[in-house]
Amino acid sequence: MAVRLKTVQYAWPTLAALTNNTLTTLTQITVYLPETGSKTIRAAWVEVSMDDIISNTGGTVTTKTINLRLGAAGYTSTTNANTLTHSTENISHFLTRDFTSHFTTNWTGTNMTCDLQLQINQSSGTTTGFVNASATLHVTYEYDDASTTQLKTVYIPLNAPVTTLPITKTSHDTVPALDTYLPETSKTYRSIHIITQSNTNAAAATDHTVTYELTSLGTTVTGNYESWAATDRWTRYVWNIIGYITTNTTHTFNVWSSVTARHHSMQAWMVVTYEFNSSTTTSVMNSLLLPMEIYSPVGTSSTIFQRATREIMVQESSPALVRLAAFVRWNNVTNETGLNARIGTDSFIAYTNTGSGAIAGGKGMMIRNDAPTGLTFGRGKNTLQLDIYNTSTTGKGGNWGALWMLNYTSDVATSGVGSHNHSIIWPLAYHGTGAANLNYVTTAIAPIIPEANRYISALGLHLGFVNNGVNIVSVPAVSIERVVAEGGLMWEDGYTDAGILDTEVGYNESWSQVRTQFKRWTGDIDIDRMDIETSRRYSLYIPNQTAVATAVFWETFQLYMTYYSIAYTVSGTISGSGGGTVNISVYRTGSRDCIYTTSRAGNGTYSLTWYDDITQVYVEAYEDATHYGRSANAVAGSGFDVDLNTNAGGVQPVVRAYA
């Protein structure tokens, strides 16, 4: 059918313990990219997290090595020797590395073994070393969607406590029976893992562990979370369950802590990467990742709240919402005493997010609602809506943002599964081996969309950074270069919000949507919008505070792009022409947005491609003061004939250059 693009994810089994400054190989995994024919690797990268076990002051990290190899190839080694200075608190690390070149050079066939090595050197402190060393692999690649066997990754949000974890076995959600939850046929599961994130809420110097279990299949216990300094650090844990879970039945999702009042407002989701038969599949799971900023402040009460929205266009037939959640992140230097949020217009949910007063990294929580009141979901434009407020008068926080996880089923489009809405992650910069700095400008990069026809339904940015030492950072900003051919050189705002951060080392995130800055579909005529496929730079910046050089490690900077290639035709016949040039414009009803323009000489047919058969459109054609006309309103796929004599002597149509 066509060359298309996708992003898939795998995970290594987590290391319970990683010895300091010792090269350690994780359990080998096999990576599958099963589509037949040639594949083009556009990006391949690894994300690593771990928690240190320092039990007294210290913990500064010098060298950070991550090595990867496919099959029998030699390892590609990446080492960052720039010092990450501790802040007398425990540190949870987040690292990224680019292995695109390794995959491009060494990938062959449809599957290969993949090895990962880690070596982290703490230069000070006693009881050095790390626990919970987790790693995920992400691959964005082009493939031929004529392949019968295809691969996809689905992200399934799971409920977790809105307060801290209990100390006894407790079920927080039902994990669906994957064999029926995922409607595709002939499924083969290649990677299944659950990711959780939260602040440890270590308000006292008592170490603890967290236990995970599905139903009664057996428990997995994390490494010991060191709490000597009562550091409330942001942590991530990846639980690989590919050989553990049974996929033909539901399971209870059980999580609990060994110590009371730990890990508040946990975020949790399941990642399933599987093969399926595209030729026999008639119903599919569409799983989308949609960034969204939430502007500060977030409101003060249930009647004075902040509302954030995210639009998503759906064109698949028979769409049905299955699961919906928003994963919210922000920064603060103190505790939230009255945090409340909701999806749609249902009742607000109260979240306990107290913290310990030594907050190392950002903060977070999630809200899940699969059938929200006040929101409708179906074909056409849908608006996801999140309301949030915080009654605290001293700890309002800043740098608010969210990532939506949306699961919906639909029929298979006639243009194939690959033409459906799908979310691509395209890295724009890796920190790699670079030093910390306060203003980083990326090299010029141009994402590539292989389809000639596409409609971008969501576009957003994800920024993740680790502050260095006791520096206070605030107001993270992302700027997008407008190149000379687009009316630049100048820098457009990609994200800016009031930020605030404790003087402790940790991982922080920002989310934003940037669809308003870029062209939305093939042939978008809005001259003020930029082209996402144009090579451009991005600037990452955190302003200085008084006498402080706010250098940070910019670990993650990515573009999240959701698009589809389901297309229709707007066509018709021009008649009544005087033989001159006929200018043809297509408009959406209601808003009267001009979506396309074209022209032809005299009478005859015309045809344009459009990406929505729900909203009615109409066509205006203009040749001269006595030859002009308008079609009837109709949805794409219908005839749009225009007789240029029918309006002679009447009011001329208004021709707009762009939406």
The token pair at 597 is: 């323009």
Cα 15 to the chain's mean position, in Å?
26
The predicted structure's pLDDT at residue 548: 58
Distance CA 24, CA 314 (A): 45
Task: For residue 230, give the amino acid letter.
Answer: A
pLDDT at residue number 392: 86
Query: What's the pLDDT score for residue 504?
Result: 85
Mean pLDDT of the chain: 92
Tokens of 318: 């028979």
Q: CB of 84 within 8 A of CB of 133?
A: no
Rounded-to-integer distance, Cα 295 and Cα 237, Å: 28
d(CA 395, CA 112): 49
Q: Is the pLDDT of residue 498 over 90?
A: no
User: Alpha helices of 542-587 — where are they, by DSSP H?
Assistant: none
Assess whether pLDDT exceeds 50 at residue 364.
yes
| pLDDT of res. 658 | 40
Sheet holding 398-411, edge to edge: 283-293, 398-411, 320-331, 363-368
Q: Are 131 and 236 in contact (CB under 8 A)?
A: no
The three state secondary structure string of 285-347 is EEEEEEEEECCCCCECCCCCEEEEEEEEEECCCCCEEEEEEEEEEEECCCCEEEEEEEECCCC
pLDDT at 656 over 70: no
For the record, the structure tokens of 605 come out as 């047919």
Q: Which helix (H) or strand (E) holds 219?
A: strand 219-221
- Does a cis peptide bond (omega within 30 degrees of 0) precede residue 297? yes
Decide if 140 contacts 107 (C-beta within 8 A).
Answer: no
Strand order in the sheet with 439-441: 439-441, 538-541, 477-482, 490-496
- Supply 207's token pair: 């170490």
Q: Are 240 and 137 in contact (CB under 8 A)?
A: no
Gap between the Cα atoms of 317 and 196, Å rounded: 33
415-434 pLDDT per residue, tens: 999 999 999 999 999 988 88
The per-residue pLDDT for 652 is: 47
pLDDT digits (tens, 9 = 90+) for 180-235: 999 999 999 999 999 999 999 877 788 999 999 999 999 999 999 999 888 899 99
CATH 1.10.287 fits 569-643, yes or no: no
**Helix, strand, coil % (nearest 5) of the chain?**
5, 55, 45
The residue that leads in pLDDT, 502 or 658, is 502
Nearest 10 degrees: Cα torsion 146, 148, 151, 155: 90
- Whether the CB-CB separation of 351 and 365 falls below 8 Å is answered with yes
Report the distance separating Cα 129 and Cα 296, nearest Å. 38
CA dihedral 389, 391, 397, 402 (to 10 degrees): -20
pLDDT digits (tens, 9 = 90+) for 135-149: 999 999 999 999 999
pLDDT computed for residue 646 by the predictor: 66
Is 10 in contact with 111 (CB distance < 8 Å)?
no
Distance CA 1, CA 338 (A): 53
Span 292-307, pLDDT tens digits: 999 988 989 999 999 9
Note the pLDDT tens digit of each residue in 148-179: 999 999 999 999 999 999 999 999 999 999 99
Does residue 354 surpass a pLDDT of 70?
A: no
Cα separation, 576 vs 628, whole angstroms: 9
Q: Tell me how far CA of residue 211 lies from CA of 15, 196, 225, 413, in angstroms.
A: 15, 12, 12, 42
SS3 441: strand
> In angstroms, rounded to a whole number, what is the distance separating the alpha carbons of residues 422 and 288?
6
pLDDT at residue 509 greater than cutoff 80: yes
Task: Name beta bridge partners: 25.
Answer: 117
Query: Higher model confidence: residue 469 or residue 24?
Result: 24
Lowest model confidence (mean pLDDT) among 150-164, 350-364, 504-518, 522-536? 350-364
Rounded average pLDDT over 406-411: 98
The pLDDT of residue 521 is above 50:
yes
Query: Range with the lowest mean pLDDT among 19-28, 86-95, 369-378?
Result: 86-95
Residue-level pLDDT at 647:
57
Per-residue pLDDT tens digits for 28-73 = 999 999 999 889 999 999 999 999 999 887 788 999 999 999 999 9
Q: Is 82 helix (H, G, I), strand (E, B) or coil?
A: coil
CA 61 to each of CA 58, 130, 186, 463, 503: distance values in angstroms, whole numbers, following the listed order: 9, 11, 47, 22, 17
Virtual torsion, Cα 183, 184, 187, 189, nearest 10 deg: -70
pLDDT at 547: 56
Q: How many CB atoms lie within 10 A of CB 493?
A: 12
CB of 413 within 8 A of CB of 368?
A: no
552 or 454: which leads in pLDDT: 454
How confident is the model at residue 157, as a pLDDT? Answer: 98
d(CA 640, CA 634): 8
Q: Which residues pair with 492 in a beta bridge?
A: 480
First to last CA, the chain: 32
Q: How is the chain split into domains, by residue range? A: 569-643
Q: What is the pLDDT of residue 356?
A: 60
Q: Which of 220, 178, 169 is nearest to 196 (CA)?
A: 220
Query: Using an 8 Å Cβ cutoff, are 331 and 399 in contact?
Result: yes
Q: How far apart are CA 653 and CA 282, in angstroms?
A: 44
Burial group, residue 150, by CB count within 10 angstroms (0-12, 13-18, 19+): buried
Mean pLDDT of 100-123: 96
Tokens 């050089």 locate to 549
- Alpha-carbon distance of 84 to 90, in angstroms, equals 12
- Yes or no: say if 137 and 46 are a contact pair by the CB < 8 Å rule: yes
pLDDT-above-70 percentage for the chain: 95
pLDDT at 651: 44
